[in-house]
Every structure is written in C-alpha cells, then in structure tokens.
Amino acid sequence: MYGIDTDGPATRGDAVDLRSDTLTRPTPAMRRAMAEAEVGDDVYREDPTVNALEERVAELFGHEAALFVPSGTMGNQIGLRLVCEPGQEVLGDADAHVLTYEMGAAAALFGLSSRTVVSEGGRLSADQLIAQVRPHGDWHLTATAAIAVENTHNRGGGLVQPLTELERLFAWSRTAGVNVHLDGARVFNASVASGVPLATYGRLADTASVCLSKGLGAPIGSVLVANAERIAAARLWRKRLGGGMRQVGVLAAAAHHALDHHLDRLATDHEHARLLAERLGVDPTTVETNMVVVDDVPAPAVAEAAKAQGVLVGQVSARRVRLVTHLDVDRDGVERAAKVLTQVIGDLAGH
Ligand code: TLP
C-alpha cells in the first residue's frame, strides 16, 4: 500500500511479491510525474512527452529512431516483423520469450516461421545459431531472415549474454544478410550488471525492444529501437495492431521518471537476489541479475505454502520456482522471504 509520500520501496499489504518485476507499482513520485505530464495526441505525433521519450531511448541505444509501444510483446513482435517477411524464418533459442511466451504471435499475426536451437540454459552461442542458419535464394529452403537474442535471458534465470558472443553473432550477420533482433526486456539489468553500455548492446542489433515496465518500475511501456525507415514502418504496424495510443504522455512521463531514478538502483535488486540465493543455498554464481531459480522443489506446494505466509513466488515448471527482486521488495522483505522459503522448502523435503 502506498500510504507514505516517498519514493522508497513500497510493501504490498504485507506480502513480499517475488513473482515478477512486472508487479511493481508506480511510486508516489512517479505518479506525480505522470499527473504533471504535458500531453497531446500521440497518433498525430503531438505528444511532447512521448516524442522526447522516443528520442531519448533511441539515443541511449545508439539507434536513429524509436517507437513507444504498450508492451514488450508488441515491441518484440513488430521488431521481428520488421526484419522478417511472411514465409521466412526467425531463428532463436528454444527458451526465448519471443517463441515461448508470446502466444505464437509471429506465426499467428505475421506468417513468420520459427526454428529453435536448444542452448545451455539460455546462454547465447553464436556458433550454435550460425550453424543452423538457412540461406536465401534456395527454393527448397525456408530462408532464415532474423536471429532473436534475449538479454538478460528470462528462462535462463536472468543471465547476462556474453558480449563476445553478441559481437561475433552481429559481425557474422553483417556478412550473411541476416538481421538480429534483441529482446531487451531486461537489457537495463544486463547493462548495470555487466557495465556494458546500453548503446553497445543496442548497436549489436538491427531491432531491439526494451521494457520500462520490468525492473525500471513503470506501469506500462516498452520502446522499439531501429533505423528511421524501420521505425516509420513500425508505426504503421503498431496502429494496425491497435497499439496507437492518444494522450499517452502520462505513461511516457512514468518511463522518463524510471530512467531518471530507477536505473542505477537495479544494482540493489541484483544484490538482493544474490542475498536470497545465499540464504536459500542456491549457487550464487547462477545469479547474475535480479532472478533466483530454485530447482528440484515441488513448485506448486512451495508456492502455496509460501503464499500462506505472505511470500509470493513464480512457478516456472513443476519442479522449478522463480524469485524476482525489484523496486517493491526491500532488504527486510528479502530477509523475510528467505526465512519463509527456507522453512517451507525444508518442511516439504521432510526435514
Ligand atoms: N515476461 C514476463 C512473463 O511473460 C514471463 C515475466 O514475468 O518475466 N521479453 C521478456 C524477456 C520478458 O520476460 C517479457 C515478460 C516480455 C518480453 C514481454 O513483456 P510484456 O509482458 O510487456 O509483453
């Protein structure tokens, strides 16, 4: 509940909510920024706060242009459509969000084919992907038009992709006429954890979708970055998909506030995740950003028992639980969650 007028972490009633960093609620200061936003009709491109956000994010990622979209899913799917024609193929990791959690959108909406490689826990291997690329101009084959990468990797437990692999893949893609799309829903976490500038990650992709509504704590909003020609086409796709928004500067203002105040503090979320891992006996080297994956536990039973004690966790599979730290979970919350989960997991294991 937000009873206090500060920009600090908030508590959700009494619960510590570790299900996802999408669950953050706008802080009082963010709400003030939203209330004060200058707005206009963004479909007419007359919303100054949105225009400024698009310019800002394009520059941050070293691209010519950007488009504010309602969700990471829309950013990803429009991004893929920009670099892949119907009947062509997107190649990605079998656990990629764009192919796992986006309801088959690339096929359902755009007629894009997809093919996957099974990676080691989400970690990008340029060679592994390159080996699977199918060339254009062969009438037997489905041409690979784009490769999708994800940084940080969600199902990989928030892992940061190795810069050398990203560089190798991108350099190769220039010679092969294949495009690279970055699902950068949590690229801000990747940058804070690795020290690699956002612009470096941005320049290693032809299209990138980045989310303001994950760790940065905005209530809604992602931004797609690319060159000016592609963003002009993306604007049409967004409208076609019903994503043309009107006085949406109120949301862009939340995004500006998030970039101003919530970027550097992601390091605190990462620290909290490491602390949680330590307390739970999870190998700390598996924790690179704001996620902790707990394996070999009865996930539904853990989730239910923890919930009864005011700790909410995500269930990735029957035997895997995911804990995500974020703006709304402070150090006390982390300690409390660690205590509850240690006890719950211990009880369920019978000791
Ligand atoms: N991820 C959500 C769920 O969909 C799993 C979460 O709680 O982690 N790319 C990546 C890597 C994501 O993790 C997500 C959201 C998205 C894209 C989609 O963003 P939205 O929810 O804004 O469409």
Q: What is the C-alpha to C-alpha distance for residues 115 and 136, in angstroms, rounded to an integer?
A: 15
The answer, yes or no, to whether any atom of ligand 1 lies below 6 A from the CB of 315, is no
Q: Are residues 52 and 18 in the same domain?
A: no
Per-run averaged pLDDT (10 residues), the chain, 351 residues: 35 83 97 98 98 98 98 98 97 97 97 97 98 91 97 98 98 98 98 98 98 98 98 98 98 98 98 98 96 97 97 97 98 97 95 65
The answer, yes or no, to whether any atom of ligand 1 lies below 6 A from the CB of 227, is no
pLDDT of residue 14: 80
Q: Are residues 7 and 60 in the same domain?
A: no
pLDDT of residue 229: 98
The answer to the question of residue 186 being in a domain is yes
Q: What secondary structure letter does DSSP report for 44?
A: G
On whether the CB atoms of residues 149 and 205 are closer than 8 A, the answer is yes
Which residue blocks in the chain are alpha helix, DSSP H? 28-35, 48-60, 72-83, 97-100, 105-110, 126-130, 163-176, 187-194, 198-203, 228-240, 249-261, 266-280, 299-308, 331-348
pLDDT of residue 350: 84
Q: Residue 331: which domain range?
A: 2-27+265-350
The answer to the question of residue 241 being in a domain is yes
Q: What is the CATH number of the domain that holds 206?
A: 3.40.640.10
State which of 261, 282, 305 marks the end of a domain.
Answer: 261
The answer, yes or no, to whether any atom of ligand 1 lies below 6 A from the CB of 47, is no
The answer, yes or no, to whether any atom of ligand 1 lies below 6 A from the CB of 101, is yes
Angle, helix 331-348 to helix 299-308, in steps of 10 degrees: 130
Q: Which residues contact 103 (CB under 8 A, 6 or more apart)?
A: none
pLDDT of residue 4: 30
pLDDT of residue 146: 98
Q: Are residues 176 and 89 in the same domain?
A: yes
The answer to the question of residue 32 being in a domain is no
Please tell me the total count of domains within the chain. 2
Q: What is the C-alpha to C-alpha distance for residues 251 and 26, in angstroms, rounded to an integer?
A: 10
CA-21 nearest atom, ligand 1: 7
pLDDT of residue 331: 97
Q: What secondary structure letter does DSSP report for 41?
A: -
The answer, yes or no, to whether any atom of ligand 1 lies below 6 A from the CB of 183, is yes
Nearest-CA residue for ligand 1 atom 6 is 20
Q: What is the C-alpha to C-alpha distance for residues 130 and 302, in angstroms, rounded to an integer?
A: 40
Nearest-CA residue for ligand 1 atom 5 is 101
Q: Are residues 197 and 55 in the same domain?
A: yes
Q: What is the C-alpha to C-alpha distance for residues 1 and 10, in angstroms, rounded to an integer?
A: 7
The answer, yes or no, to whether any atom of ligand 1 lies below 6 A from the CB of 189, is no
Q: Are residues 11 and 89 in the same domain?
A: no
Q: Are residues 243 and 316 in the same domain?
A: no
Q: Are residues 13 and 77 in the same domain?
A: no
The answer to the question of residue 209 being in a domain is yes
The answer to the question of residue 62 being in a domain is yes
The answer to the question of residue 136 being in a domain is yes
State phi, psi for 143 to the nearest 5 degrees.
-75, 135
Beta carbons within 10 angstroms of residue 135's beta carbon: 11
101 CA → ligand 1 middle, Å: 7
133 CA → ligand 1 middle, Å: 26
Q: What is the C-alpha to C-alpha distance for residues 93 and 74, in angstroms, rounded to an integer?
A: 19
Q: Are residues 190 and 304 in the same domain?
A: no
Q: What is the C-alpha to C-alpha distance for residues 351 and 347, in angstroms, rounded to an integer?
A: 5
Global confidence as pTM: 0.95
pLDDT of residue 2: 27
β-strand partners of 16: 311
Q: What is the CATH number of the domain that holds 279?
A: 3.90.1150.10
The answer, yes or no, to whether any atom of ligand 1 lies below 6 A from the CB of 72, is yes
Among residues 49, 109, 107, the alpha carbon closest in space to that of 237 is found at 109
Q: Are residues 249 and 179 in the same domain?
A: yes
Q: Are residues 49 and 20 in the same domain?
A: no
Q: Are residues 57 and 172 in the same domain?
A: yes
State which of 261, 280, 308 marks the end of a domain.
Answer: 261
Q: What is the C-alpha to C-alpha distance for residues 107 and 104, in angstroms, rounded to an integer?
A: 6
State phi, psi for 140 to the nearest 5 degrees.
-90, -25
| DSSP per-residue string spanning 230-296 | HHHHHHHHHHHTT---SSTHHHHHHHHHHHHHSSTTHHHHHHHHHHHHHHHT--GGG-SSSEEEEES
State which of 261, 285, 317 marks the end of a domain.
Answer: 261
Nearest-CA residue for ligand 1 atom 8 is 20
pLDDT of residue 13: 67
Q: Which letter, b or e, does each residue of 289-315 get, where b requires 16 or more Cβ atoms within 10 Å of its Cβ?
A: bbbbbbeebbbeebbebbeebbbbbbb
Q: Are residues 206 and 335 in the same domain?
A: no
Mutational pocket test of ligand 1: of 101, 153, 292, 317, the residue with most ligand atoms within 8 Å of the beta carbon: 101
